Structure 1
């Protein structure tokens, strides 16, 4: 049976800004008809006009990351009946295959026959005091030029077989994570101070399945602002983000080393390895996110 090459999936609840970026980015990569938005009861109208993107409505319920990972895993597995590969990303995560080697995510997916691929992850950082508020209707890379390595964003994102994701989608049971040097995940949570605080206002008050989960989504404004300010003030380094870049290789190696110590654990990599400097986004990525 002939299958389509690649589908992209996300799940949202009232994410007007990030969904605008997600739609533009992935629609241009695979075509809107291969994009799937699981709408977890949005009430702000942001999922009403998605063009040819497939919208799947599910009932609103308290945030439960265990349930979410289970449901999304089953949904993505079902899409593998019609697609060779499926990508799941959160709505604030943009995947880019290295532009020096691949013109699109489709060409990257067709080049790999691994059962699953883990991206190398970076947070996009708002440099406070020097960069204006983010305009989500415009390309992110034309407004933000600094990124920070984050092992938490080294997620297993592309699958060619059904997998069992851990909550947060950092890893899965079936395959040991190994960050690919040619697939990059750019996380937008820290890309804008004001919109980040606005999102916190929503996530703090939304229902959760337990008082103990989702604490990073319920921080006080001052704590979140201080965290972003600290990241924004890191020194800046230049690097090409390829296998000749010693810092880049060292970050990937640190994740690989952490995996060897966690083979039998649910979270199979250390999600607390963070860069102690900011990378200046290499020119080849400008215009790609």
Structure 2
């Protein structure tokens, strides 16, 4: 009999987000079912991990290579687990508590080979909100979300998947976001940490000059981008499955997925919400 769920990420020098990631997922599946692929970390942040750690040599960042390797690793884990979750270290998957008591409960109720989340950026209002205390639940310190098509990722697999670079889609399935599966992206949740992380990704080696351009922008451009997100007009929404605003975006992604079925990225990754939505109270304290 296979275990229900394993969780996987890949890191390089992530002293802030890795503890947040591990705290969240270890609470859900247990430390022994969390797997960290360590891509040559040299800042000590993975030295004493209590979970499973697989060390691989440091090399220039190559998203295509990275995706191939992780796809193969997760396929292998499916020999021992019914479902495998892969997400980046700044991505938090949550089952909507209005529908399911836990992520494993959601997985047990679904039979689809791939489950796609509805994705949101957690936004820092830098002029109004203090820096995050990463030792406390982040969902108690931030209040605003922006819908992001790029974060509507097929994170949960029950059969081997051929992910696209960036894990935005799988070759074997068109996007169909699950209304009860939420992905909260933390990259824009803290201005100070975002700039610190950006300084690291600017300095690291990349496989080509074109690769990772969004990870190598200037501090000024990054600040302006975050300010633009935080300045969007607020709009009320419940984020429940029957919420008309959320349904509009879900149906648009499904429709575009059919129209772009031959594209390596059947979702337009530049598609983002033009409003800020409040983080509903039922998610407060969950991550």
Q: Secondary structure at the match of 1:7?
A: strand
Tell me by how many angstroms 1:134 deviates.
Answer: 0.7
Q: Deviations over 1:208-257 (max 9, x none)?
A: 00001110000011001000001011121221101331111111112112
Question: For 1:120 and 1:284, how far apart are their aligned partners in 2?
Answer: 16
Tell me by how many angstroms 1:177 deviates.
Answer: 1.1
Q: Secondary structure at the match of 2:16?
A: helix
Superposition pairs of residues 1-289 of structure 1, within 5 angstroms: 2-51=1-50, 53-289=51-287
Q: Deviations over 1:48-104 (max 9, x none)?
A: 1222x1010000000000000000000000000000000000000000001112111
Question: For 1:45 and 1:23, how far apart are their aligned partners in 2?
Answer: 16
Question: For 2:273 and 2:27, how far apart are their aligned partners in 1?
Answer: 30
Q: How many residue pairs are counted as aligned between the two chains?
A: 287
TM-score (norm 2): 0.99
Contact 1:125–1:144 (CA<8 Å) still a contact in 2? yes
Note the residue ranges of structure 1 that are not aligned, 5 or more in a row.
none
Note the residue ranges of structure 2 that are not aligned, 5 or more in a row.
none
TM-score (norm 1): 0.98
Q: Secondary structure at the match of 1:16?
A: coil
Aligned alpha-carbon RMSD (Å):
0.7
Question: For 2:77 and 2:155, how far apart are their aligned partners in 1?
Answer: 14
Tell me by how many angstroms 1:193 deviates.
Answer: 0.4
Question: For 1:179 and 1:244, how far apart are their aligned partners in 2?
Answer: 13
